[in-house]
Amino acid sequence: MVSFNTRIQIRILTGIITAIAFVFLGARTNQEVPSEKTPPTGPYLSKVIAHYKKQLTKGLDVYGPEKTAFWMASLNTQTGMYPRDATRPPHIPQRAYLDRSVDAPKGSTLYWDMPSIVTVVNLSQVTGDNFYKNSANAYMKDFMKYCVADNGVFLWGNHYFYDAFVDSTMKFYSKPYAVDFKNENGHLHEARPLIPAWQALWNVNPEVTKKEIMVSTENHLVDRATGEFNRHADKKSDHAFTEAGGTLIYTMAWLYNKTKNPEHLAIADVIADFSFNNRNKDTGLIPNSPMHDRWDKYVSTSEVGLWSACLLEAAQWADKKTVAKWNAMAEEAITAWLKYGFDEEKQRYYGMLNLTDGKPVWRTDDYPYKPQNYSDIWEPLFPTHNYPISFGESCLMLYKRTNNPLFRQAVDRWVNIIREELPARKGRGAYAEHYGRVIYFLLNCHEQLGDKAYRDLAVTVANEAVDKLWAQGMFRSHPEEDRYDAVDGVGVLSLGLMWLDTGKKPDRMGLYF
């Protein structure tokens, strides 16, 4: 028989447990939820809203001892939660690297979520429901709490993520391991090819954001005099990829617009000089990276289109002298590539050009991280230094600036390639990011050139994307599997669909892709 004192102790203990449970469950039950009332929307925007309603209510970090506002990087589209079995079927082509944890297993990756961050901020503006924006802000705040090195460098990009199951920031070359914050300086910081939504981060904490930009850029810069830079923030002479240079140029120009500190613009300018000054003086072609005796020292790819686009976009924040210089650099770089880069017989752009004579370089090996023989709009794998749509965007911007028919011809050639290669990947379907990039490019063409045919083609691409990727109330990020991965670019697709339905270009808040 239980004694009176024991019964009292049991009641007290039960009361404590009940109170704790009530507080915990109440906090979970009363967490912010999206409004059930939304204004009338079109067929694409309604799916974007439904996707983020599900992702931001079901797909948060509820796994380790510490619950955070992080968005999980991988989700099962049926449950909206982290997949019980996260292994990838062998027939699904991988999106990012074959031997690295860029997809943030069991975790979260703010860098690759940047397009979705921008999407949900715009969703709050469109719907009048702050749920979406608040979820994004909470996510960025927790990232700044848990994933910033003591020197201010963001631990994100292609070598860092947050593991939600063990509540730790992780770093990796291939196999992830926990960050030791006592010794971590962010030397593997590698934020390419997406340029982060700096304004969204700035709105959360301008001091932290400015410090990340300043310290990481300083550590990416190898030689202040020549502008030599490295893809990693370790001050070492290594791979000066043009895509990484473009990211740094754009970022420092964006910061200059905030601070008006001429030193910030000077850093952007000298980084631009480094890639441009390493062009071949006979062909005018810019190497993918002038460093080391490797394949990318001797070829130029459509990556020069991304570099040029970064210069042209960054020029909006520069002074008049720098604007003229960067526009001229981009024009010369793209003109040189167009001189050699198109196969008239195949009506396709080459994947690689020999730096010294401009002739196409044909693949003779199975090395995965380089372009195919022809630039492929739908290529799943990153990084292959293949940016056809960014190249098309550069041609469009240059045509609007110069009215040179050479650039208009290039735009129409890219559009023809898109049209002829639908359905994507011979009917298998493409990754969300690639559908989104194409839609965005076509809508830019419609906006800048006025021909309704561009928008009609964007609708065709959007319909295919929805047909291939809409599953169980949200977007899967690649076909043939009911799975969402942040690294696959659903945010890019969502921005394109949002623009298509609303007729208004979303505010990208510093994001560039």
Q: Long-range contacts for 316-319 (Cβ within 8 Å, ≥24 apart)?
A: 317/253, 317/254, 317/256, 317/257, 318/253, 318/256, 318/265, 318/268, 319/265
Contact 157, 194 (CB under 8 A): no
- pLDDT at 31 (0 to 100): 61
- pLDDT at 343 (0 to 100): 98
Residue 4 confidence (pLDDT) above 60: no
- pLDDT at 285 (0 to 100): 98
Which residue segments constitute the domains of the chain, with CATH numbers given?
A: 37-205+431-513 (no CATH), 239-421 (1.50.10.20)
**Could you report the per-residue pLDDT of 83-126, keeping only the tens digit for each?**
999 888 999 999 999 999 999 999 999 999 999 999 999 999 99
Return the structure tokens found at 198. Answer: 């700096």
Alpha-carbon distance of 69 to 74, in angstroms, equals 15
Alpha-carbon distance of 157 to 219, in angstroms, equals 15
| Dihedral, CA of residue 323, residue 325, residue 328 and residue 333, to nearest 10 | -110
- pLDDT band of residue 9 (cuts 50, 70, 90) is very low
**Could you report the per-residue pLDDT of 322-372, keeping only the tens digit for each?**
999 999 999 999 999 999 999 999 999 999 999 999 999 999 999 999 999
**Could you report the per-residue pLDDT of 24-82, keeping only the tens digit for each?**
333 333 468 988 877 778 999 999 999 999 999 999 999 999 999 999 999 999 999 99
**Could you report the per-residue pLDDT of 266-296, keeping only the tens digit for each?**
999 999 999 999 999 999 999 999 998 999 9
Alpha-carbon distance of 269 to 278, in angstroms, equals 14
Read off φ and ψ for residue 109, nearest 5 degrees: -140, 95
Q: How far is CA 177 from CA 161, 180, 347, 462, in A?
A: 10, 9, 47, 39
Return the structure tokens found at 478. Answer: 């690649």
pTM: 0.92
